Amino acid sequence: MRTNVILILLLAFGMTSCVSKKKFEAVQMELDQAKMDCESEIAALLKQKETVDRRLKDLSGELSTAKNTASNGQDRIKQLEDEIAFLKQTNTNLLGRLEEMSIISRTGAESIKKSLDALDRQGKYIQDLNTTLQRKDSLNLVLVQKLKRSLSDVNDDDVNVEVKKGVVYISLSDKLLFKSGSTAITAEANSVLSKIASIINDHNDFDVLVEGHTDNVPISTSCIKDNWDLSVLRATSIVRSLQENHNVEPKRMTAGGRSEFVSKADNENSAGRALNRRTEIIVLPKLDQYFSLMAPE
């Protein structure tokens, strides 16, 4: 409206052949005032846009945090998505007003559009990640149930199956697997490994990490230098048995030893040391699939 008034004044000014200095100054003042009002409105719009941009950046950070707890934070994710949608619409409206006043360039508008598109992609990535994590949790639950049914006849003190850190842990006691100070697998252990291998072979989308653990009692023989040696050799014995006796693909398996340094109980008493002498078979997603899952498109 103010621009129209200015144009009318300019036309009137042009059509008048003789204008007094007083009228000229009045018109000039009107033009100056209009310019100041326009600049004020522009500054207010830019300030409002900066506020929206900061809020969008903060929300992006919150969304990044929310993806780590997606399985327990569905309501919060929905709230964030709704708020982002509202802010995106607000930003679009501001962009339209700024374009009308020729304050931002076409290149700037494209940059903002790309930012909004990136937010859309991020929202879709969070949803896909949440769906994949829920599927992985379901597969872990199925694995645990199958393993517990298969190993139901084994003493609970000798085997424990649970989900920790998003993967399935099968903890086997030292007395079930080996004789004291030995790395040779017992006949009873081979029976248990056969049941575990049967389930592992039914789930080719998972890899297998075998970790040997000891107590803190020192050991030194002609074949075993210390607890590091003992834990690693026992892990490789399990891996070798799974490969040679139970047909688990060797490329799916990794053997490692943790010595005495990842204990489950206090080594100051015999009961605690017995718990610490164990081998853990960890069933986890294949690494390439895991990294593919974590990498945004």
Please, what CATH class does the domain formed by 151-294 belong to? alpha beta
Portion of the chain with pLDDT greater than 70, in percent: 73
CA atoms within 13 A on the CB side of 202: 11
Q: Name the range with the highest mean pLDDT among 29-38, 78-87, 129-138, 231-240.
A: 231-240
- What band does 231 get if pLDDT is binned at 50, 70 and 90? very high
For residue 174 the two structure tokens come to 């030292």
**Contact partners, residue 188, CB within 8 Å, separation at least 6:** 176
* Most confidently predicted of 14-23, 140-149, 251-260: 251-260
Burial of 178 (0-12, 13-18, 19+ CB in 10 A): buried
Statement: residue 249 has pLDDT above 60: yes
Residue 93 has pLDDT above 90, yes or no: no
- Starting at the edge strand that comes first in sequence, how are the strands of the sheet with 278-285 ordered? 159-164, 167-173, 278-285, 206-213, 253-257
- pTM for the whole thing? 0.55
**pLDDT for res 6:** 52
d(CA 233, CA 139): 31
Antiparallel, parallel or unpaired: β 206-213 and 159-164: unpaired
Is the separation of the CB atoms in 34 and 6 below 8 Å? yes
